[in-house]
Structure 1
Amino acid sequence: MILEDLYRLLKSGHVQAQGIVDTMTQPIVVLDHNLCVVSANNAFVRTFEIERDDILGQSFFDLGDGQWEIAELRELIASVIPKAAAVIGFEVTHDFPAIGQRTFLVDARRLIHPGNNSTNILILFDDVTERRRQDEERDFVIAETRHRLKNLSAVMRSIAMHTQTEDRTAAEYRDIFLGRFEVTLRAQEIAFADQTIDFEVLLRQSVGEPGVDRLRCEGPAVTLASSKVLAVGMIFHELGTNAVKYGALSVPDGQIDVVWALESGPRDRTYLVCEWQEKNGLPVTPPRRRGYGTELIEGTSAHLGGKVELKYDPGGFAATVKIPL
């Protein structure tokens, strides 16, 4: 029931009016011309956990710990009597005695009966604490989603712009781009859910088919925060892609050994140090020029505050990746 409905009900002088007011779930209080409490319904007593006799005759602005003593609210309510005005939706947030921090919308209107020049004021309180919390959560989710989608769009644009087309067919470009796109989406799903992930699980997901069955992993359990999932996933996806194209995974008997450990660093930081070693692959020669994959691996490691060393040994490509946790 809104203030206007309640006002019309009480103005009619209906014999059941007071009983209806007492059954309402919204707190209601009536003040006299001195702004002292004349009556309060059961919801007001329950909501603020007070005794009715303790507030009758007391100034509204002295109730509790003075939570209603707000200059603007006092001015608005004081203007209701001489101006026959109404206060609609005045918001009050306060740490109330007994019930903690709550947010109320306050409505107030002069209560006039036919043939009666009453100066009583009817005040109704609408508890919107939960509604405000839900609104804030919704706004946060929308803002966060927009931010992450913008970041994802920027990442995909960068991948598209930097995936080289020289000496590649359209099908080769498509496969390379879609591979990077897929690992980015998998990482973003984890990041969106604000989840952590086991490093070995992320490593195997990033390398993907067909290399995962020829990937030998050894190291302690390491949990990565969601903020590092995309970057770490992209690093090892690029290493796995290069192994499929040029290294150990380009031949049937090739395999990859990945061994990692935790090391202490400056300022008590802990680092994940990972050794990637390819075996039984084709002879390795250093690339004639730096490609986007190399720049991505080195640049992403630096962005995380770590570093990477790429070694083009004839017996097999190797990489050392050091990432702060």
Structure 2
Amino acid sequence: MVLEDLYRLLRAGHVQAQGIVDTLTQPLVVLDQGFCVTNANNAFIDAFKVDRDDILGHSLFSLGNGQWDIADLRKLIAEIIPKTAAVVGYEVTHDFPTIGQRTFLVDARRLVHPDNNSTSILVLFEDVTESNRERAESDIILAETRHRMKNLFSVIRALAMQTQTEGYTAQEYRDAFLGRIDVALRAQEIAPGETSAEFGSLLDAAVAATGGNRIHIEAGPSATLPSPKVVPVSMMFHELATNALKYGALSVPDGRVRLSWRIEEGDGDRTMLVTEWREENGPTVRQPTRRGYGTELITATAKHLGGSAEQRFDPRGLTAIIKLPI
């Protein structure tokens, strides 16, 4: 049953019209030519918390201390309907004293009675407050999803551009690239959206898959990293673990790595998170003749984040000291 169907029944003087009005689940009010209420269905009474005897014969705009004297509604009923005969889906938002802020889609239709040419106005209300809220929430979620996907694709593109190709086979490139993507995804799980990440958890996620239980992470002071630093910091320690697996302590059965961190006061008012990566029982370390991709990535990333990275090539094992401002 829509307003058009009800209009036909009332216009024809159908004996069941009043009963049908009361069965409508949407609030409906009937107004005379002076905009006074001549009828209201049960849904209207329930929805707006009013008493039927208090509204019949009174102007709609004076009901409830003027709560219906809404500029948009008055314009619809007093100005538009007399000229257009019908309006569908006119949106009205108002803060009602009894039910709070609500948004309604208003359908209105002018009814001319065939017996005496008198005019009534049928006004039907559809409460779309919840559906509008759900739609707004969905739009926010969709926008956030698009934002995160865009950021993730930017990270993947950067990884592809930064992964070294010279001197590598296709399989070596693929393995290195997929490994870095895996680290980036795990970092996103640790710090989704705009949240921060606990540093110890971040380290574990960055190196566990590569070094397993041969990388011993010593508990340090509580420290957190903001979301923008999570992925680059994860990549630095993943790179250290990958290099250790290929060339360092993790490349031999008895090799191991000790990973610890502390907090120090830096220059000025800066507080620095100092992380020490120490490899033990690995092959003899020799000073490299050139800076490899891993060293470049670690050094450049630390500098970009406002810190520094130092690698000491002691014959007994590599030591890397990474300082980051927090």
User: What is the TM-score when the length of structure 2 is the normalising length?
Assistant: 0.84
Identity of aligned residues (%): 61
1:279–1:23 distance in 2 versus 1, CA, 3 Å: same
The 2-side partners of 1:255 and 1:192 are apart by 31
Q: Supply the AA of the counterpart residue of 1:242.
A: N
- List alignment gaps of at least 5 residues for structure 1: none
Q: How does 1:186-265 map to 2 (within 5 A)?
A: 186-192=186-192, 199-219=199-219, 220=221, 228-261=229-262
Aligned residues of 1:199 and 1:221 also touching (Cα < 8 A): yes
- The alignment of Structure 1 onto Structure 2 pairs a total of residues equal to 324
Aligned residues of 1:273 and 1:320 also touching (Cα < 8 A): yes
Report the 3-state secondary structure (helix = DSSP H, G, I; strand = E; otherwise coil) of the residue aligned with 1:155: helix
The 1-side partners of 2:134 and 2:148 are apart by 21
User: What is the TM-score when the length of structure 1 is the normalising length?
Assistant: 0.85
For the pair 1:316 / 2:317, whether they are aligned, the reply is yes
1:278–1:19 distance in 2 versus 1, CA, 3 Å: same
1:270 CA drift (Å): 7.2
The 2-side partners of 1:30 and 1:268 are apart by 71
- List alignment gaps of at least 5 residues for structure 2: none
1:108 corresponds in structure 2 to: 108
Report the 3-state secondary structure (helix = DSSP H, G, I; strand = E; otherwise coil) of the residue aligned with 1:120: strand
Q: How does 1:125-164 map to 2 (within 5 A)?
A: 125-164=125-164
Aligned residues of 2:206 and 2:237 also touching (Cα < 8 A): yes
Deviates most, 153-162 or 180-189: 180-189
Report the 3-state secondary structure (helix = DSSP H, G, I; strand = E; otherwise coil) of the residue aligned with 2:91: strand
For the pair 1:17 / 2:2, whether they are aligned, the reply is no
1:308–1:36 distance in 2 versus 1, CA, 3 Å: farther
Aligned residues of 1:33 and 1:81 also touching (Cα < 8 A): no
Report the 3-state secondary structure (helix = DSSP H, G, I; strand = E; otherwise coil) of the residue aligned with 2:217: strand
1:95 CA drift (Å): 2.3
Report the 3-state secondary structure (helix = DSSP H, G, I; strand = E; otherwise coil) of the residue aligned with 2:53: helix
List per-residue Cα deviations over 1:71-104 (Å, max 9, x = no partner): 4442232235533521211112222212222211
1:299–1:17 distance in 2 versus 1, CA, 3 Å: farther
1:5 CA drift (Å): 2.7
Aligned residues of 1:80 and 1:121 also touching (Cα < 8 A): no
Q: How does 1:68-87 map to 2 (within 5 A)?
A: 68-80=68-80, 82-87=82-87
1:36 CA drift (Å): 2.4
Aligned residues of 2:274 and 2:321 also touching (Cα < 8 A): yes
Deviates most, 59-68 or 206-215: 59-68
2:173 corresponds in structure 1 to: 173
